[in-house]
Structure 1
Amino acid sequence: MVDSPASRPSAPGSLWRNRDFLLLWSGQGAGTLGPQVALVVLPLLALDQLHASSFQVSLLTSLGWLPYLLFSLPAGVLVDRLDQRRLMIACDLGRMLLLASVPLLALAGRLSLGWLYAVVGLAGVLTVVFTVAYRSRLPQIVSPDQLVDANGKLGLCESLAEIAGPGLGGMLTGAVGASRSLLANVLTYALSATTLGLMRSPRKPSPAVPPATRRPPVRAELRQGLDFVRREPVLLRLLLTTSASNFFVTAQGAVAVTFMVRELRAPSSAVGLVFALGSVGGLLSGLLARRIADRFGSARIIWLSMLLPGPLYFLMPLAGHGWGVLWYSVGLSALSANATLFNTASLSYRQRVTPAALLSRVNAVYLWIAYGVIPLGSLTGGVLATAIGLRAALWVCALGMWSGALFVVFSPLRRMRDTPLAAAAGVPEPA
């Protein structure tokens, strides 16, 4: 394989010497820690203080993801037209204020499940815009050969947040209560906004629309991203895999806390520990992403990462009382390893084969469909838990999570070792 800057840590183009990447990395990591704290805190808050049912908790999760279905495509056009860094800072500040309202209302005795739903939904809209913006910003500050390494480091940050966040959420809930624990989210969003504000590199102008040229209608711009994904067979398979996996992963996540608290009688601290240990696989795969890609191929690891960890998912419904709850963390660890490695490789593939002028809209298409199914998955988890029981619902989810591998195992990726570069830099005209 040709030696590249991404495979030479001491090279002048090393990511460790890229100030803007390090700021984006730390900002994205801080912004990821907050939701991971909320992953444990919000369901515990709804269960303990607001006495929510299993279905109401799953609805809380669903509302957090519903904005991906409703706002992803418009967010792609918005990110293309406005300054991405300023958008990310505005999203951080908005989420900070929304989450700060929860402990304040709880202290005043005015917190309701309805307001909690509103906060989760509005914060979800801001998260959609932030996610499209940072994924589109990354190729502007690193070279194409560094994308796997950069995405691996971003995935590592997410894994570190997944380790620290739930454990911190469980410990804070036990120490100061669920509502006050959300102050940790406020601090992480403030830190994220600060680091993003320190970035210096200007946004690179899009080659799609010269300054004197009138922009096409919004509908035409949206359609360009959809058409590009539809015409690219690998991108389409990646979209199907991500969508199927997200559906069942979220169905699992919607009942996980309820299963451990009500079925296994696990305390809040044990729930946090399970989620923290469950992120170890993602941490290791994030650290080793570049080496694994160099060893097996940046395209080949896409389907291998989906296929191999699957059998371990079935340890989740096999979890038991006491120390037996840790079997759940083993299944989660396999899932997090799969997610970090697959997301690193598939996102790098998408960023390399997509023309720069279309990247925000292609990213938005992925969020619209692959994340748009998440609220449906969350509701499905709640319905399954109500209809057939919590443990049986987890068996269905484990099988469904592994089934997503079929789309990439039987795809052109099987004949590739490494990811190609974009064939053309131009943007197709809308039909």
Structure 2
Amino acid sequence: MDPRPLSPAAPLSPAAPLSPAFRRLARSNLAAQSAEQLALAAVPLTAVLALGGGTGTTGALAFVQTLPFLLLALPMGLLADRVDRRRLMASAEWVRAAALLAIPVAAWFGWLSVPLLALLGCIAAIGTLAFTVTAPALVPALVDRPLLAAANGRLELARSLAYAGGPALAGALVAWAGAPVAFAVAAVLSAWAALLLTGIPEPARAAPGARRPLAEIAEGAAFVWRHPWLRPIVATAIGWNIAWFVLQAAYVPYAVDLLGLTAAGIGMTLAAYGIGMVAGAVLAPMIAGRLPIGRMIAVGPLVSVAAAACMLASLRWPQPVLAGASMFLFGAGPILWTIGQVTLRQAATPPALLGRVSALMTMATFGARPLGAAIGGLAGVAWGPGACVVLAAAGFVIQAATILLSAVPRVRTLPEPADAALQPVRA
């Protein structure tokens, strides 16, 4: 498939004001992301402190919470292309709020157990999945095409702030008032996100044709596979996540055994990752105004190579500052990648396929994570955590080469709208 013609009249514009409808979506996104990060941090704390779980328990809980992304991403994308997107997200947020609220209720009556915590955590993850898949499909209907990068940057900034502050808030709430209060706060945030979504107008779309779910999913997959921009974007995302989770699987043993860090020191290096995410999201509008969209997308994978180089250098010079710098760069670079590739994906995909394409990207990304973790675990057992650092660095070089050798870095402006009849909402 040839890309659509480029329009020199459609530059990225980070400065123009965004519509009230989008600003409402952004506030909802901040509440939803905060609820997610708060709950993700509170679940293992509850398992260990209240239920006596160990490493195996927390690992199993983390696995169960990823299952919706692997099993339900494609059905969620199909729904996003067929039903009212804001109602789909709002419904999923109400489900998440109910699941999160059920945890303190179960704890109050003495019913809470690890299996029940796992089940409720899995149900709550459906809200995260709905936002991850559906929000990128809704944004093009709420903002003009030249403002897509600015809009996506606003959403990523909210995610970065939630990622940086959510675990700390969860820890403080658990220490101050107990885990049930942390889940109750997360439930309130999720309900607030749902209420904000109900006030967003969405333009009417053409009624879907005959329902053929498998054929429609295959249509979305074929579109991605044949597209000269989307195919390398998906491949790069898979490569990055495999390499990142190879590193994540071995980072704590590596930091303790080779860098000599304490728990507090490891926490500081991991905090640098969240700080990097916030920094990348803050700088993204300025970078979007100065670089062509294709080069902005390529920056993220290149920064990840620099981050891997810092971690590799710590093998030779075991200094915590190198690990902290690496984590900061790993946080900052992928934010630029995410904003850029989501913007290009939104502009290059016909509106009728946005949900399915977003779902395929989500499933590929999350599907790569357990594979990377398994590779990292096996390599760490066989050769030690240092070998995982080397293996991850090789993976980051491969993912950067994948995008740099594709047509993506040569894209200078966004493609023409896939459907000129679809006008953004101004309300």
TM class, shorter-chain normalised? 0.7 to 0.9
Matching residue of 1:266? 263
- Bigger mean CA deviation after superposition, 41-50 or 352-361: 41-50
Amino acid at match of 1:149: A
Amino acid at match of 1:226: A
1:362 equivalent among 334, 342, 357: 357
2:328 equivalent among 333, 338, 341: 333
| CA–CA separation in structure 2 for the residues paired with 1:385 and 1:114 | 29
| CA–CA separation in structure 1 for the residues paired with 2:65 and 2:240 | 18
Matched, 1:205 2:205: yes
| CA–CA separation in structure 2 for the residues paired with 1:96 and 1:172 | 18
8 A contact 1:167–1:275 mirrored in 2: no
Per-residue deviation, residues 365-415 of structure 1 (Å, max 9, x unmatched): 212222222344445555556666666655544553454222101111243
1:119-268 aligned at under 5 Å gives the runs 119-199=120-200, 201-206=201-206, 209=207, 214-253=209-248, 264-266=261-263
8 A contact 1:88–1:193 mirrored in 2: yes
1:295 equivalent among 290, 293, 312: 290
Is the alpha carbon distance of 1:225 and 1:339 closer, same or farther for their aligned partners in structure 2, counting shifts above 3 Å? same
| CA–CA separation in structure 2 for the residues paired with 1:391 and 1:44 | 29
Matching residue of 1:372? 367
| CA–CA separation in structure 2 for the residues paired with 1:44 and 1:396 | 31
SS at match of 1:308: helix
8 A contact 1:302–1:341 mirrored in 2: yes
Matching residue of 1:7? 13
SS at match of 1:279: helix
Structure 1 residue 349: Cα displacement = 0.7
Matched, 1:80 2:81: yes
| CA–CA separation in structure 2 for the residues paired with 1:278 and 1:53 | 25
Unaligned runs of 5+ in 1: 427-431
Matched, 1:348 2:354: no
8 A contact 2:304–2:334 mirrored in 1: no
SS at match of 1:7: coil
Is the alpha carbon distance of 1:38 and 1:24 closer, same or farther for their aligned partners in structure 2, counting shifts above 3 Å? same
Matching residue of 1:429? none
1:27-106 aligned at under 5 Å gives the runs 27-106=28-107
Percent of residue pairs identical: 30
Is the alpha carbon distance of 1:62 and 1:154 closer, same or farther for their aligned partners in structure 2, counting shifts above 3 Å? same
8 A contact 1:35–1:185 mirrored in 2: yes
Alignment RMSD: 3.3
Matched, 1:411 2:395: no
| CA–CA separation in structure 1 for the residues paired with 2:153 and 2:204 | 23
8 A contact 1:303–1:405 mirrored in 2: yes
Structure 1 residue 341: Cα displacement = 0.4
Amino acid at match of 1:136: A
Number of positions where the alignment pairs a residue of Structure 1 with one of Structure 2:
411
8 A contact 1:167–1:272 mirrored in 2: no
8 A contact 1:293–1:301 mirrored in 2: yes
| CA–CA separation in structure 1 for the residues paired with 2:180 and 2:324 | 25
Unaligned runs of 5+ in 2: 1-6, 422-427
8 A contact 2:14–2:147 mirrored in 1: no
8 A contact 2:14–2:150 mirrored in 1: no
8 A contact 1:255–1:382 mirrored in 2: yes
Structure 1 residue 130: Cα displacement = 2.9
Structure 1 residue 227: Cα displacement = 0.8
- Bigger mean CA deviation after superposition, 225-234 or 310-319: 310-319
- Bigger mean CA deviation after superposition, 28-37 or 234-243: 28-37
8 A contact 2:269–2:323 mirrored in 1: yes
Matching residue of 2:416? 421
Structure 1 residue 350: Cα displacement = 0.6
Give TM-score, length-normalised by structure 1.
0.83
| CA–CA separation in structure 2 for the residues paired with 1:374 and 1:143 | 34
Amino acid at match of 1:305: G
Is the alpha carbon distance of 1:61 and 1:316 closer, same or farther for their aligned partners in structure 2, counting shifts above 3 Å? farther
Structure 1 residue 101: Cα displacement = 2.5
8 A contact 1:88–1:196 mirrored in 2: yes
SS at match of 2:229: helix
